[in-house]
Amino acid sequence: MRRTTLVPYLFVTPAMLLLLAFGVLPIAVAAVVSLTDMNISGLANWRNVEFIGGANYVALVADPDFWRALGNTGLFVVVGVPAIVLISLGVALLLDGSDSRFARALRSFYFVPAVTGIVAISLVWGYLYNTQFGLFNWLLSLVGIPQVQWLSDPWLAKFSVALVAVWRGTGLNIIIFLAALQGIPREYREAAALDGAGPWRTTRSIVLPLLGFAIFFVTVTTTIAWLQFFDEPFVLTDGGPLGATTSMSIFLYKEGFRLNQFGYASAGSLVLFAIIAVITVIQLRLRRRDVEY
């Protein structure tokens, strides 16, 4: 009988300390700050800060910019997450077909966007999308199509920004799906082939169900990431034009760092955190119900 020891606690402590210090503590601080009117002079001198209760939350609800950011975020999630899941899954299925050197080389190509820092990405894509001098419009002009305002048209900008994010997000998920596919025993597929099932049928009826957990995992993590969508709209359009690509995270950032309204931004952060938590829990519940037939 093993003595109940401190050992697990010792193992867990370093990681937990860091996660608590840089994850949990900040959100707790934000919760407190969200009940105050802290701004830049308050940050400098805590005596300038006043407790205002739920006033920030009330103001949030009345702020059209908040609702627009929420709407944009929702749109990005609804469009982006399925796109990433489907594309990653599709590419993984195709890549899994062959285990040749060729396929492995191609894997690296697909992973390139995922390893590139956002600053480099903004540079390249900003140039590609540029209306007058960008590569895309130049290619279009060769076939007689007039200039497209990739980043200036309110609706097109949303699409352009989401495209870059999808481009970036598929890399890691392709790897995850490939890994999951490797875990499917060869026998299953061979048995299906013997039974006369074509590759598409095999995929649909055997492989996909077995990928259930992987698909679920990718969906949940991608959803969480896209609810916090920040990098791409920030570097490509700064949330513009006129707020068309402003996500919740950008809204919070601007309130906090450009307008120095830290109390207000903290309230927004709590709201975003709550939304992420609720959606994740819903996804988890759905999955549990699904599996428990």
Partner 1 sequence: MKRTATRTLAAFAAVGLAAGLAACTSDGGGDADGPLTVWIMGDSGANFEQLVAPFTEETGTEVEVVAIPWDAIDERLTTAVASGSGPDLLQIGLSKLSTFAAAGALLPLDEHLADHPGLAAGNFPDGVAEATQVGGETVSVPWVSDTRVLFYRSDILAENGIDAPPASWAELREDAKVLAARGDGQYGYYIPQWDSPLPVIMTWDFGGDIVSGGEIDFDTAAFAEAVDLYTGLYADGSVPTNGDFDQTQGFISGIAPMLVSGPYLAKSIADAAPELDGKWGVTMVPGADEKTSLFAGSNLGIWHNTDQVDASLDLLEYLSSVEAQLSWFEINGELPAVSAALEDATLQSDPLVQVYSQQLADSKVLPLVPNWDGQTGSDLLNALNAIVLTGADRDATLAELFTKTAGTPVG
Partner 2 sequence: MSSTEPRIRRSRPPEVRRRLAISLSVGLVLLVGALTTAFPLLWMLAGSFKPQREAIDFPPTLLPQEPTLANYLRLFTELDFGRYLLNTVLVVLIGAFGLLFMAMAGYAFAKYRFRGRDGLFFLVLATLMIPVQVTMIPTYLILNGMKLTNTLVGIALPTLVSGFGVFLFRQFMSTIPDEVLEAARVDGAGELRTFVQIVLPMSKPILAVQAVLAFITGWNSFLWPLIIASDQKLYTLSVGLALLNQQLAVDPALQMAAASVMVVPVLLVFVVFQRYVVQGFALSGLK
Interacting residues with partner 1 (CB under 8 A): 4, 6, 9, 16-17, 20-21, 24-25, 29, 40-41, 43-46, 126, 129-133, 146-147, 149, 151-152, 154, 237, 240-242, 254, 256-260
Q: How far apart are the first and last CA of the chain?
A: 37
Identify what 240 binds: partner 2, partner 1, none; CB under 5 to 8 Å per kind.
partner 1
When binding is defined by CB under 8 A, the residue of 147, 221, 260, 283 that contacts partner 2 is 221
Structure tokens at 171: 């890399």
- Scanning 59-67, 76-84, 96-104, 152-160 for contacts with partner 2 by CB under 8 A, the matching segment is 96-104
Question: Which residue's CB is nearer to partner 2, number 52 or number 220?
Answer: 220
Q: Is 11 in the site for partner 2 (CB under 8 A)?
A: yes
Structure tokens at 98: 């062959």
Q: Is 97 in the site for partner 2 (CB under 8 A)?
A: yes
User: Rounded to whole angstroms, how far apart are CA atoms 277 and 280?
Assistant: 5
Question: Which residue's CB is nearer to partner 1, number 169 or number 233?
Answer: 233
- Put residue 170 in one of left, alpha, beta given phi > 0 → left and psi -120 to 50 → alpha: alpha
In DSSP terms, 51 is beta-bridged to: 36
- Scanning 51-59, 92-100, 149-157, 236-244 for contacts with partner 2 by CB under 8 A, the matching segment is 92-100
User: Rounded to whole angstroms, how far apart are CA atoms 64 and 71?
Assistant: 10
Restricting to residues 143-202, name those near partner 2 by CB under 8 A: 167, 170, 175-176, 178-180, 182-184, 199
Question: Which residue's CB is nearer to partner 1, number 76 or number 253?
Answer: 253
Question: Which residue's CB is nearer to partner 2, number 135 or number 191?
Answer: 135
Helix orientation angle between 118-129 and 154-182, rounded to the nearest 10 degrees: 130
Smallest gap from Cβ 90 to partner 2, in A, equals 9
Smallest gap from Cβ 279 to partner 2, in A, equals 9
Coil, strand, or helix at residue 36?
strand
Identify what 206 binds: partner 2, partner 1, none; CB under 5 to 8 Å per kind.
none
Q: Are 31 and 270 in contact (CB under 8 A)?
A: yes
Identify what 211 binds: partner 2, partner 1, none; CB under 5 to 8 Å per kind.
partner 2
Coil, strand, or helix at residue 51?
strand
In 146-211, alpha helices (H): 154-182, 186-194, 199-202, 208-210
Identify what 82 binds: partner 2, partner 1, none; CB under 5 to 8 Å per kind.
none
Q: Is 123 in the site for partner 2 (CB under 8 A)?
A: yes
Structure tokens at 93: 């299925």
When binding is defined by CB under 8 A, the residue of 83, 118, 163, 197 that contacts partner 2 is 118
Sequence-separated (6 or more) residues with CB below 8 Å from residue 11:
none
Q: Is 40 in the site for partner 2 (CB under 8 A)?
A: no
Structure tokens at 236: 């490509």
Phi/psi at 36 (nearest 5 deg)?
Answer: -125, 180
Helix orientation angle between 55-62 and 262-291, rounded to the nearest 10 degrees: 80
